[in-house]
Amino acid sequence: MTEPTVLVPLDGSEPALAALPVANALGEVEHAALLFLHVAEDRPPDAESLSRVLLGGTELDGLTVATRTGKPAAELVHAAAEIRPQLIVLCKHGAIEPPNVLGGTAMNVLHNAPCPVVLVPPSRGSTPWRLQHILVPHDGTPGTSTALRPAQKIAEHAGADLLVVHVAGTAPAAVEPGYFTTPRYVDQPHHEWPAWSSEFGKRFVCLGPPGRLQMRVCLARGNAAAEVMRLANQHATDLIVLAWRGVWDAPRAAVLRHIVAAGRCPIAVVRV
């Protein structure tokens, strides 16, 4: 499929519909068609079950719904591999899963999707969603910058501002060439910090597409996950975009796990 597509899995539960306003808005931003996908575990879904899936949402009239049969997570991943969507937008957990975890299907999609995955907390319901403020936690590695290209593109297309957050800490420095973290030496803060912000931003932007971004770099200190949450709330963030190296278990992905558990806004996860 060559037409830009946003894939939206729906399982028939009400929480899953929280993905719709977000998918809609991202589809518009990306000039991508929405493709809904319903996977029935045992037999091919019929029209009646499909109308249950969509819960009769009038705003969805005329849109196509693809169906598959099988294990939902596996089928979603297969479908994504075939369709090659721009994004997958789905609710971060199912109706029966606890609210502070990543659901089984979402976890599987996250691990195996060939594109960025946007996880939407069911708690945001069907409230319309507008993309104005994006927050990007950044560890200072070129790998993360490269992975975050979609965030830059989305921000630029949406005209949203981008807040890039780097959290200074006590962890050892990364070894990736081109890694850039807080300066070890700050001889004169009034010279050093503006230069640092500028350099951080340029390194981030130069690895992405050319264009104009409304971007600001912010340095935070302390616990990275807590700081990202604090700044996301403080800046009324609509979307947090995180680069992820594919390992979910502690001690890795601490920020991602924390935000998935406690975040109130959608989270776009991009694989490094």
Partner 1 sequence: MTARQTLPRLLDLPVAPTTDPAWILVEEGFTLAREHEVESLFAIGNGYAGSRASLAEGCALSAPATCVAGVFVSAAGSVPELARLADWTHLSVTVEGHALQLDQNSYVEHRRILDLRQAMLWRGWRQRSAGGRITRLRELRLASLADRHLLLQSMTLTAEDYSGSVSIDATPMGPLTQLTDAGITVIMAVRTRLTGPEGGAVGTAALPIEQLNFDINRGETYRLDRVVAVYTSRDTREPLRTARRRVERAVENIEDVVVQHRDAWLARWEASDLRIDGDPAAQRALRFAAYHLSSAANPDDDRVSIGARGLSGTAYKGHVFWDTDIFMLPFFNLTYPEAARALVMYRYHTLAGARAKAARLGHSGALYAWESTDSGEEVTPPFVVGPDGEVVRILTGEQEQHISADVAFAVWKYWEATGDERFLIDAGAEILIETARFWESRAKREGDGRCHIRGVVGPDEYHETVDDNAYTNAMAQWNLEVAELTARLFAERWPAQWRALSRRLGLASGEPQRWQRVARDLYTGFDERTGLFEQFQGYFGLEEIDLAAYAQRTAPMDVLLGRERIQRSKIIKQPDVVMLVFLLWERLSPQVRRVNFEYYEPRCGHGSSLSPAIHALVAARLGNTALAEHYFRQAAEIDLADNMGNAAGGIHAAGMGGLWQAAVFGFAGLRLTEKAPEHCAKLPPSWHSFCARFQWRGQWHELTLPEG
Q: Under the rule (CB under 8 A), what is the footprint of partner 1?
A: 142, 145, 168-173, 175, 177-197, 199, 202-203, 206-207, 210, 217-221
Nearest to 137 by CA among 249, 263, 7: 263
Helix or strand run (H / E) with residue 239:
strand 239-244
Nearest to 88 by CA among 40, 30, 130, 133: 30
Shortest distance, CB of residue 261 to partner 1, whole angstroms?
25
Cα–Cα distances (Å) from 16 to 38, 103, 123, in that order, read 11, 11, 10
Shortest distance, CB of residue 243 to partner 1, whole angstroms?
15
Write the burial class of residue 8 (CB in 10 Å: 0-12 exposed, 13-18 middle, 19+ buried): buried
Shortest distance, CB of residue 146 to partner 1, whole angstroms?
9
Residue 131 is encoded by which pair of tokens? 């993309």
Residue 196 or 244 having the CB closest to partner 1: 196
DSSP strands (E only) in 133-231: 133-137, 161-168, 214-221
Amino acid at position 13, single letter: S
Structure-token match 């921000």, residue found: 155
Residue 179 or 248 having the CB closest to partner 1: 179
Shortest distance, CB of residue 174 to partner 1, whole angstroms?
8
Coil, strand or helix: which one is 135?
A: strand
Residue 4 or 169 having the CB closest to partner 1: 169
Shortest distance, CB of residue 205 to partner 1, whole angstroms?
8
Residue 21 or 140 having the CB closest to partner 1: 140
Shortest distance, CB of residue 252 to partner 1, whole angstroms?
17
Residue 193 or 248 having the CB closest to partner 1: 193
Residue 42 or 187 having the CB closest to partner 1: 187
The DSSP line for 7-54 is EEE--S-TGGGGHHHHHHHHHHHTT-EEEEEEEESSS---HHHHHHHH
